[in-house]
Structure 1
Amino acid sequence: MDNRGLNVGQSDVTSDYWQGDEAKWQIAFGAGTLHVEEAARDESTQLMQSQASLPIRDPQTGAVIGAITVGLNLDAL
């Protein structure tokens, strides 16, 4: 996600291209910290999953320039 919460890349088609209204972006980008969501059934995929989100920082300045979210499919474990 970029500095506005818009998706800039994804591994699968998504039904929601703007993440700026979600805690995963607000915490990872806005607060610059790790955010791990509690396990829940995803409405769009019907999979039990959790998501971990991390800030992406400029390597020279340390400024947060985006965020990445990785979904963990708990049904596959």
Structure 2
Amino acid sequence: IYLKASLDTLVGRIKRRGRAYEQSIQHDYLAYLNQAYDAWIARARKDFFILEINADETDYVNGDDDLNELVAQIQKHCP
């Protein structure tokens, strides 16, 4: 399961969490990680099923509907 989020979403979530140790993470590093994950997912898809979920417009922490939808998607693919 890959919860994919854009750089803007990642940066916003880091700021909202307010964890001191995360505040110094460079945007370039997050962009690099996103690219690395995308490359890894592309390779892994050749051998494994990857459920990729767009996490940009979801709130799994505060949104019960979003969380329930995530669980439903997972159950659909992994009964």
Q: Which TM-score bucket, shorter chain as reference?
A: under 0.3
Name the structure with the higher helix share: 2
Compare CA radii of gyration and give the structure with the larger one.
2
Length-normalised TM-score, structure 1: 0.24
Name the structure with the higher strand share: 1
The higher relative CO (CA closer than 8 Å, separation ≥ 6) is in 2
Length-normalised TM-score, structure 2: 0.24
